């Protein structure tokens, strides 16, 4: 583990003391603090007024009970969360995650990452995150609707287009957002389109929002490759996951001439040496809502389902972890390096462990951290907010062009900042420092609040 600058050690120690057992949050804070030693040395005033301490403390943490009735008439209880982390740059912005693994520490880590990710976009949005330990898998449409309505019955009092604007995340797609928006509209008697993003196109959504996180991740990795005179054309790629981010990461890679040979879900991974059949993958995951094992059964010749092991055993030129946090370990990273991977782009939030990140950096592998690489989703959410505010709707081509331009800007910002602080090519440091400076400057301007 790298060493935190001695001026920042007490800050990290206090984060550990005040947030016991929240290891993912500790990891996210540690990664940022690791990058700030050179910043504090160059600009000592950033350590004044407990500025860094305030950035590490959420402005508001909301926990609430979510009671609902299942199809058998039994009352179920889940726990809901919304962490409104930092609003120095604009209204809190960040997704809602419905998954059994969701705890307060999970939401805090995601919210902390979101602050810097949103800052990197250059758009006027703060950072937040939310969710519940509710699991939509195996639930009927009626059960999902009743849960979402109960969840919004509490959440509605904390959000608004100028206050806090949630979106989707793992377990929360257009279906869930539709039920929540309907309940918000019912309770408030307002058609406030900008209160949620990721909406359906017929009720205020933005074209490209579905594709944005995956497309944006590929745009960022493409810019990294360009920095070494390379591109995706003819490259072999492995993409973990098979949800929204993974599917549209694969789609954009294919459009750039890459060949994706493996993807996964929680039950295992599939290897298809001929290249993943995107239409079949979409049919299985978006229409049938089935398991990735079905892909191999239908595809048969050349496709193999592996229920155990790790997808990172599959040799590739480019690896894009798009499933969940800490899915790619140090051992996995060493295997990828041995198999001569040239670039890694995090499509998910913090999917690589600190040991894995160090292994890639030590080997000279291009590495795009999630707070930069997967910022395309929230960037397009901000574009959706613009359209809602102006009662407008942009074409797919226009919105995608704006997304591509934002991702190029994020890459440039990270690269130039890494250079300026003496660590050229280190996108982790570049992203952390660039995001921190933008948030810190806004916080100083607003005073001690």
Which active-site residues does the annotation give?
A: 129
Residue 393 to residue 399: CA distance in whole angstroms: 9
Q: Could you give the C-alpha distances from 83 to 58, 112, 169, 221, in angstroms and in order?
A: 7, 9, 15, 30
Whether residue 240 contacts residue 246, with contact meaning beta carbons closer than 8 Å, is answered with: yes
Contact 102, 156 (CB under 8 A): no
Three-state secondary structure call for residue 261: strand
The three-state DSSP-derived secondary structure of 230-248 is CCCCCCEEEEECCCHHHHH
What letter does residue 286 receive in the DSSP assignment?
I
The angle that helices 23-35 and 9-18 make with each other, rounded to 10 degrees, is 170
In angstroms, the CA 147 to CA 151 distance is: 6
d(CA 397, CA 91): 27
Specify the length of the chain in residues: 449
- Do residues 244 and 250 make contact, with C-beta atoms less than 8 angstroms apart? no
- What does DSSP say about strands 318-321 and 366-368: parallel, antiparallel, or unpaired? unpaired
Contact 288, 294 (CB under 8 A): yes
Angle between helix axes 396-420 and 212-226 (nearest 10 degrees) is 50
Are 349 and 325 spatial neighbours (Cβ–Cβ below 8 Å)? yes
Stated as kind and residue range, the H or E segment containing 376 is helix 376-389
State how far the Cα of 85 lies from the Cα of 109, in Å rounded to an integer: 10
């Amino acid at each position: 583990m790298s060493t935190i600058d001695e001026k920042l050690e007490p800050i990290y120690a206090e984060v550990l003391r005040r947030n016991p057992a929240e290891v993912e949050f500790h990891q996210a804070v540690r990664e940022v603090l690791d990058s700030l030693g050179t910043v504090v040395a160059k600009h000592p005033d950033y350590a004044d007024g407990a500025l860094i301490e305030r950035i590490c403390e959420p402005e508001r943490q909301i926990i609430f009970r979510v009671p609902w009735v299942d199809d058998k008439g039994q009352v179920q209880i889940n726990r809901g969360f919304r962490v409104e982390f930092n609003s120095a740059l604009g209204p809190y912005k960040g997704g809602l995650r419905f998954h059994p693994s969701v705890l307060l520490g999970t939401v805090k880590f995601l919210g902390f990452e979101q602050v810097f990710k949103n800052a990197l976009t250059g758009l006027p949005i703060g950072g937040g995150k939310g969710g519940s330990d509710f699991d939509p898998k195996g639930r009927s449409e009626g059960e999902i609707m009743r849960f979402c309505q109960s969840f919004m019955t509490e959440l509605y009092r904390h959000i608004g287009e100028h206050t806090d604007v949630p979106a989707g995340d793992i377990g929360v797609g257009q279906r869930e957002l539709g039920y929540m928006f309907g309940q918000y509209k019912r309770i408030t008697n307002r058609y406030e389109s900008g209160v949620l993003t990721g909406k359906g196109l017929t009720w205020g959504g933005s074209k490209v929002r579905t594709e944005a996180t995956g497309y944006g991740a590929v745009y960022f990795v493409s810019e990294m490759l360009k920095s070494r005179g390379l591109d995706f054309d003819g490259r072999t790629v492995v993409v973990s996951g098979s949800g929204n981010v993974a599917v549209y990461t694969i789609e954009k890679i294919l459009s750039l001439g890459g060949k994706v040979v493996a993807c996964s879900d929680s039950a295992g991974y599939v290897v298809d040496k001929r290249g993943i059949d995107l239409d079949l993958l979409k049919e299985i995951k978006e229409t049938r809502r089935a398991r990735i094992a079905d892909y191999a059964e239908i595809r048969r010749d050349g496709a193999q389902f592996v229920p155990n092991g790790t997808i990172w055993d599959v040799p590739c030129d480019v690896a894009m972890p798009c499933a969940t946090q800490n899915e790619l370990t140090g051992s996995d990273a060493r295997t990828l390096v041995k198999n001569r991977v040239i670039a890694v782009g995090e499509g998910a939030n913090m999917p690589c462990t600190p040991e894995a990140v160090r292994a890639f950096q030590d080997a000279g592998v291009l590495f795009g951290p999630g707070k930069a690489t997967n910022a395309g989703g929230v960037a397009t959410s901000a574009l959706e907010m613009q359209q809602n505010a102006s009662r407008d709707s942009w074409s797919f081509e226009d919105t995608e062009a704006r997304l591509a331009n934002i991702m190029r800007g994020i890459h440039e910002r990270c690269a130039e900042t890494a250079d300026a602080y003496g660590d050229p090519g280190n996108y982790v440091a570049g992203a952390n420092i660039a995001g921190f400076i933008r948030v810190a400057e806004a916080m100083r301007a607003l005073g001690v609040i």
